[in-house]
Structure 1
């Protein structure tokens, strides 16, 4: 269908899966590289010049690498699962090394265009190794992916908002104290007259007359905001 298309329009883009790999940075203790590979499901309208556009689904990928601080420590953790009146199940050892966490919102399909394939092995981008596509990604599509032999390809521009972070289990030292029993009776102020209580409250001048710029207690190193004390 893409080989007969004269133009395409991006209808929708969805995030399928994100592959992550965390490795320590050599000669820089505490820092880790996070390699990311995003897999997108792209839904297109292919225009062939005859009849109405046809719906076409395809796969797009994007690679990204970030360096984050994850502190130090490589302790081995051994756990067991309790079983009543039997030997406890021994779980496989774990470590407290950091793990990557990626949060992604729905991507935006910005543009799409049809590009002719070159015969002299010149490329408009990196070739996608289909053998490295996980089977769970391929199962998302109703039909099998075209693995080669096409004369045209579709290049899409995707707007992606993501948060990449690394997490690790740490020990927290929290002080604990014995129970504290009150020795005095709490005296309430319900006996006071409401009018007397109201008279003790200062008049809120700032609510009626916003303070001037020189009255704002601003940090001289901070950047000014829109409006005073805002």
Structure 2
């Protein structure tokens, strides 16, 4: 088989075999964001909340992005734009000291919601796939069949600060959050969503990229089919012929070249510690 061209900009047009139709996703619009999420309430598990009520000091150790929920709705005053509502679910781990005991680990959930408006272009086509059954709950409906797909890329957040506040200091501004069952199932205990005397708050830094995609059919030039060049092996350290390995080692001609032993610049042999003066 002919060698595959690694740089398409330098390929000879005469090497193009044919044109091929492919199906891919076109990015209609995208954006990046750096959110500083201040005083995000952490809903601790029942056991962690009991320790927090009597803790002397607490420090947030880390936060992990568990999952996101993405909802795409068209903007009523602009047919080409869509609102993307993104809900981030974080698992927060903290260290707390209760009495004279060793530090214990607190575990809880933090939720952050943001909205992004991007151009998704128009499409009259309704797209259905054979791997989705129309009678199931996860099947795509006719109302959503011509909407673009939202993709969110996000890193684990950075913990910037944390603090504990008494319930009376919150002023009732923290409404109980509604959590889906699949989020609750990620924790071993029930989460305390209300009626707590003390609550942990955390400030996070979140980096994210959001984009809208639409299915598209493109015609691309074909130079050759992509065939893997690496051979498969059944173990991490595949056995190799030692003679074959030795044959690929360059001959060390420099080590056979006689060198004078100058007192100012003494050259030492690789195998000996004394000067090469023989």
Aligned residues of 2:85 and 2:115 also touching (Cα < 8 A): yes
For structure 2, the residue ranges without an aligned partner over 5 or more in a row are 1-50, 132-138, 223-278
Q: Which residue of 1 aligns with 2:158?
A: 108
**2-side partners of 1:160 and 1:175: how far apart?**
37
**1-side partners of 2:112 and 2:140: how far apart?**
34
Match of 1:28 among 54, 73, 78: 78
Change (3 A) 1:137 1:167: same
User: Does 1:98 find its partner at 2:98?
Assistant: no
Count of residues in Structure 1 that have an aligned counterpart in Structure 2: 163
Deviation of 1:100 (Å)? 1.1
Q: Which residue of 2 aligns with 1:126?
A: 174
Deviation of 1:93 (Å)? 7.0
Change (3 A) 1:169 1:7: same
Q: Post-superposition, which runs of at least 4 consecutive aligned residues in structure 1 deviate over 6 A? A: 91-94
Q: After superposition, what is the alpha-carbon deviation per residue over 1:110-163, rounded to whole angstroms, capped at 9, x for unaligned?
A: 2111100028x713x53232xx21222112112221232210000001111111
**2-side partners of 1:10 and 1:62: how far apart?**
17
Aligned residues of 1:111 and 1:158 also touching (Cα < 8 A): yes
Match of 1:76 among 121, 126, 129: 126
TM-score, with structure 2 as normaliser: 0.53
TM-score, with structure 1 as normaliser: 0.64
**2-side partners of 1:75 and 1:65: how far apart?**
26
Q: Which residue of 2 aligns with 1:141?
A: 187
- Structure number with higher relative contact order (C-alpha < 8 Å, ≥ 6 residues apart): 2
Deviation of 1:35 (Å)? 0.6
For structure 1, the residue ranges without an aligned partner over 5 or more in a row are 82-90, 178-230
- What pairs up with 1:1-230 in 2 under 5 angstroms? 1-78=51-128, 95-118=145-168, 122-123=171-172, 125-129=173-177, 132-172=178-218, 174=219
Instruction: Indicate the SS of the match to 2:78.
Output: coil
Higher strand proportion, which one? Answer: 2
